[in-house]
Amino acid sequence: MSFESYRSKGRIATLLMLLFPIVMGITSVALSLSRLLPSANPYVSIVFVIPSYASYILFLVAMNGLAKYYNERKILKNSLYPFIISSTGGIISLFVAYTFITPILDEFSAYVSSPGNVPPASMFFSLFQVIAVIWLAVSVLGILNGFFYRRAFYALAEKSGEQNFKQAGLFMFIGGILMIIFVGGLIFFIGLIFAVLGFFNLKPKDSQNE
**pLDDT above 60: residue 36:** no
State the DSSP H helix or E strand holding residue 49, giving kind and residue range, or none if neither: helix 37-69
What's the whole-number mean pLDDT along residues 68-97?
A: 88
**CA angle 169-174-176, nearest 5°?**
90
Longest dimension (CA), the chain: 77
Q: How many helices (H) and strands (E) does the chain have?
A: 7, 0
Looking at the whole model, is its pTM more than 0.95?
no
Residue 102 pLDDT > 70: yes
Asked if pLDDT for residue 40 goes beyond 60, the answer is: no
- Sign of torsion over alpha carbons 141, 37, 191, 205: positive
Alpha carbon separation from 90 to 53, 64, 179 (Å, rounded)? 12, 24, 15
C-beta separation of 193 from 151 below 8 A: no
Please tell me the number of Cα atoms within 13 Å of 81 on its side-chain side.
Answer: 17
